[in-house]
Structure formats: C-alpha cells, structure tokens
Chains A and B, each alone.
Chain A
C-alpha cells in the first residue's frame, strides 16, 4: 500500500468512526435500516391518459418550451422543417442516431447529420426517454445512440416525443429505468429538462439561453 493509499484509508476510517461515535454506534449496520415512510405522489402525477397529455403540454408551455402536436411519425421531418423555418433557422440539423428510422429525406431541404454534437451545431434533434406530465419535463438519458451533448450544446433543441412516452411523474420515470436497467442501475447521465436554459443571476430577472439551449421545441407525435 502506498503512502497516499494508506492516508486515504485513514481518512475514510476516521470520518466513518466519527459518524458512528456521534450516532453512538459501535459497528456498521449489517442490513438496511428499516424505514416505513411513504413518498407521497401528487394527484396530478397520476392522471388518466388524455388528461395527462394535456397537463404535459400545459406545463411544458408554462416552462417556455414550445409544443407542436402532429399525427403519425412520418410527419416528423416536415414538422422539424416547419419549426426551423418559422424561427428563421437554417435547416441543418444534428440528429441523435436513435432517430435514424425517421424518413428525413421526405423534407428535402433538411440537411441531417447523425451523431454527437459538434460545437458548431446550431440545432440538435433527439428523442426522449420519457416525459413527465407533472411538470412538463423531458427525461433524457445517455446511451450508444443517445449523445448527451445534443441536449446541451446546440442553441436549439428539438425533441421528438411519442404520446405514449408521456408518463405521470418522476416515480414513473424511475419505474421505467428500473425495468430497463435493473434495480439500482443508472445510465451515465440522466437529465430532466424543463424548458429552455435560463438564468436569474442578473438582478433576479430571468433571461433565456444561459448556457444550454435558448429554444426547446417539442414535437408530440400522436397515433394516426
């Protein structure tokens, strides 16, 4: 054991020792301490399907995201192109590989490249892991075909969200994660995004586009 390692071990033992002394405990607990409390789930995080979708849209818009509702996944490219045109943005997009099944060529003006974000990319287009009606929040996770940089680097973030991805609240997000990744497992990055980036650091006035995207646009895809 090197000197550094032994010092680290000493610090660890000392800190834990002090905690146990303060807690008047001689040895580590052998099992998880029991706790009977229940985390309340707000009623608005448990709404039936139709209301849930409306609540999601309402809170997403309240957080200053914009939402377009379309029918059918094949209309996504047009919806993206229309949004960019409406904002006077160049139709050049960096797309998360998870969306490579979308027929991007159907919007001929769109120039789509796939992969993680470059600093020059102005528009990032991604899917979402799920979305929370409770607060109008998009849940993003990292993975092979889901680069995290697409959520944060480009000035405009367009999210393609299927209506069946909108869940009630945070705890539903956890359930999905536990199902997909296993109990106690997480992807490297999980970001809950509620509206575009902002700051209140100058005289407590909110300005959009601090470091993350200035615009967050959600294309909500419902079944035909």
Chain B
C-alpha cells in the first residue's frame, strides 16, 4: 500500500469530522476494547508473566539468527519448507509461485498484517487468483475495498449499519436478497457464504502470532476459527510471518499466550489457539498436503541492536490502540499506512523511513497510557521521542518548525534566560477571564479551542519557593 503518511494532518482532520467513524470508534472504550482489567485482576501473576515475556523476546532478538535457523531445521524435519524473503516483492512472488504450483484459482486467507505489508491481495488478483478474506472484519473491508484500520479489529471503523449496506449490496448476487440489520444475522450470513469459499479454496494462507523454534510450529490465535478452516481444508497451507515472530520453545509460548489474550480482549484465552507443524502426517484423515512458511525481513534485521529494537517485542494485542487518545479519536486509516495506533507510530518510520513516517510519532501527547498497558513493556513514548529526534536531525520538519525548535533548544540550555522568558510569558499570558480566544502564533490551537491563561508564577519559581516540597 502506497503510504499516505505525509497527509496525516489532513487525514486526521477528515477523520474527526467523520460522524459514522466517530460512532464506530466509540465502542473502543467498551468491554471488548478495554476488557483487560478484569482478566488481569483475576491473575495475580500477570506482572511476573509480563516481565518474563519481555525477557523471552529480548533473549530471542539477541539471538535471532540462531532461533530462526533452528526453526527452519525443525520445519524441514516435519516435511515443511521455509522461504526467506528480503522484501515484500520477493515474498509475494514466492507466494504466487507456490499457488501456481498447485494450479490455484482461489485462495482463502486468515488475518495477516504481513499480507498487508506485502500488498498480497491485489497482486494475486492481477495474476488471476482470487483471494478471499475469511476473518469477518477482513471480509467486511475486502467487500468495501478498504484496508484494515486496526491490527486485530480490522473493520472497527465500520458501523453495523454500514456493514448491513455492504452485505446487502454484495450478497444479492449470491441469492441473499434481504437487508439484515441485526449483528447476529449478519454474522450468520457471512458464515454461510464463506463456508463454500473454504471448501472451494486450493490454498489457505494464514499469518502467525508465533513461530516456535523448538518444534518448527507456527501459531495463530483467533476467536472465529476462520484461520483453522483456512488451513485444514485446502491442499496447501502457506504461513506469512515476519522474522521477529520466532520464540525459543513451547514453555515460552505459554507465557506469551497468557499475556496476549488478556491484553487483547480480556479473554482468559482466545477461543482458538492453533499450532501447525508441517503438512498432514501419513495417517491423518485431514489437513493440508503441503506446508510453507514465508519469512519476511522487510527492514527488521536492521532494527536489531538499535534503539528501536524494542518495538520488535510487540505481540500485536492491540491494547495500546484502545487506550490511545489519538487512535480513539481518528481511527487507523488517518495514519496512512499498514500499522496504526501507538505501535504503528513507533514501527512505521522504521519500515518506510522517517521522511515518510515522521508525522505519526509526532502526533502523540506522550501521555504514556500505551506503555502502561503494553504487556511487553515497550517504551512507546521513548520510541516516539527517538523518531522525533531523528526527524529533527534529518531536517524533515519545515524551516519554521526547525527555527522554533532551535530557539527553544537554545533557551533550554541557558537556564537563566529560560527562567526569565518563562516569567515574562507567565505575565503576558495571565488574564482575568482565564482564557484566550485568540493568540498570535497559536492560531492552530485557538481555532478549535480556547487557550488557558497562565495563573500565578512559573513552575520553576514555585518549585524554588517551596524548596521542592509539594504542599
């Protein structure tokens, strides 16, 4: 997908004015969106598990070559194949080649963000293969011709009404004439239609939440069971995964699973956690005849050992999305590329470059809620600051912004001048009414809200007067 990240500001403005979008996003603050609290309260060991989860990922990343090679060895041993791909182009060529090797006409797909990175669907279509998304959210946006706006709830930007319209429009050709309005009926209709697609598919493509080095298994976590039907009915199962999904062994996966579902939806465990190892065995009555894993790098190998390595710990639970004031206001599409929300703001500049992606980490109040809820303790605000510094160094900000930042930076390094300027500003910005409707150089702020007036002396002066005591 061609990034539109540079249009972030305009896209965010449009999103704020989009009534159906705001209505759809309002559900994020409900039980499924923020359900983690109760599930975490019921597990006293949650914080210990979190610490261990961080340790597992850090250890794996520090030895990534070893665990990937061992994973490959185990996949081979179980009769599967691993394909290392440097970039999205190479990965989708490989998928096409595999599909063509079994004369595939139609392909069912489980949810995969790596597939979005690869822009796999349009590529398969161009080559005469029909991809069918089977995760309900992905299916909805495929009908709408859109991309996911959330890593685990891809159609979160759609209202039920919009889904009704979409189904009505697209399902009539399949003999479903009635426009349904109840969520339950919509789910049942999609179930019915996708049944046939599963059965007709030649290849099933899924993503992976984890790859296990000890056994050569790939793991998917779903609530719908679509990923299971996708992989067990066709003759070939292709798994799309990026390098950092690998973990050493089954016991480590247990720890990661224990923090994943609780953080994602507040469930004790997602409905289906599925481990796939190689193709079907000689005696198995069902399952795929062939098993292939696409291992995509796409810039990850270069993130290792740098300040942004921490984002590679991400297990894509989505907790940071539900707790982000920015994401909750504008949704995912405004971000302009595959990944949105706090994790997307930290990851995107690494994958598409800071020149393209710099608005995303800038659009954060650094309130820290994302870091607080992250099961993998990823220091997201620190990563945002990292990108802001890189953006400043690489001069991607406009001259005006850089001028202002330079002045501020200079003042901040001269405490006397900084304090003096602070006092002058506090004086000038005090006002009996308590607010400003308009301020020079702050039109962007005062256009949509009042600027609060300063009251009393500066923080530094109060701090001094009270000698650092709070009362």
A residues contacting B by CB (< 8 A) are 4, 8, 11-12, 14-16, 18-25, 28-29, 32-33, 35, 37-40, 42-44, 59, 62-63, 115-117, 119, 134-137, 142-144, 147-149, 151-153, 169-171, 174, 177, 184-207, 209-213
Check if B223 sits within 8 Å of A185, measured CB to CB.
no
Given contacts A171-B254, A174-B250, contact A189 B276 (CB under 8 A): yes
Q: Which of B78, B86, B265 contacts A11 (CB 8 A)?
A: B86
Bin the interface of chain B by size. 35 or more
Q: B350 at the A/B interface (Cβ < 8 Å)?
A: no
**Chain B residues with CB under 8 A of A136:** 268
Give 5 nearest A-B pairs by CB, closest first. A212-B225, A210-B224, A201-B137, A22-B304, A18-B301
**Chain A residues with CB under 8 A of B270:** 194
**Chain A residues with CB under 8 A of B295:** 15
A-B contact pairs, 25 of them (CB 8 A): A22-B301, A22-B303, A29-B66, A63-B267, A135-B269, A142-B284, A142-B286, A144-B284, A148-B287, A151-B228, A186-B275, A188-B277, A188-B281, A188-B284, A194-B271, A197-B224, A199-B137, A201-B153, A201-B154, A202-B160, A204-B153, A210-B225, A211-B194, A211-B228, A212-B224
Give the interface centre of A29, A59, A202 by most chain B CB atoms within 10 Å. Answer: A202
Give the interface centre of A21, A136, A184 by most chain B CB atoms within 10 Å. Answer: A184
Given contacts A136-B268, A203-B24, contact A170 B223 (CB under 8 A): no
Nearest Cβ distance between residue B95 and chain A, in whole angstroms?
14
B176-192, CB < 8 A from A: 183-184, 186-188, 190-191
B residues contacting A by CB (< 8 A) are 24, 27-28, 30-33, 43-45, 48-49, 52, 55-56, 59, 62-66, 68-69, 74, 78, 83-86, 90, 97, 134-137, 140, 153-156, 158-160, 163, 183-184, 186-188, 190-191, 194-195, 198-199, 214-217, 223-226, 228-229, 232-233, 243, 248, 250-252, 254-255, 257-258, 265, 267-281, 283-287, 295, 297, 301-306
Check if A198 sits within 8 Å of B243, measured CB to CB.
no
Q: Which of B158, B214, B228 contacts A184 (CB 8 A)?
A: B214
Check if B223 sits within 8 Å of A147, measured CB to CB.
no
Q: What is the CA–CA distance of A202 and B62 in the complex, to the nearest angstrom?
A: 40
Nearest Cβ distance between residue A30 and chain B, in whole angstroms?
10
Nearest Cβ distance between residue B429 and chain A, in whole angstroms?
42
Check if A22 sits within 8 Å of B30, measured CB to CB.
no
* A21 nearest CB neighbor, chain B only: B301
Check if B226 sits within 8 Å of A210, measured CB to CB.
yes
Check if B255 sits within 8 Å of A40, measured CB to CB.
yes
**Chain B residues with CB under 8 A of A193:** 271-272
Nearest Cβ distance between residue A213 and chain B, in whole angstroms?
8
Q: What is the CA–CA distance of A43 and B43 in the complex, to the nearest angstrom?
A: 9
**Chain A residues with CB under 8 A of B55:** 37
Nearest Cβ distance between residue B82 and chain A, in whole angstroms?
8
**Chain B residues with CB under 8 A of A38:** 52
Q: Which of A20, A63, A192, A198 contacts B65 (CB 8 A)?
A: A20
Given contacts A144-B283, A171-B251, A184-B215, contact A192 B48 (CB under 8 A): no
Q: Which of B65, B83, B137 contacts A19 (CB 8 A)?
A: B65
* B91 nearest CB neighbor, chain A only: A11
* B161 nearest CB neighbor, chain A only: A203
Q: What is the CA–CA distance of A42 and B270 in the complex, to the nearest angstrom?
A: 18
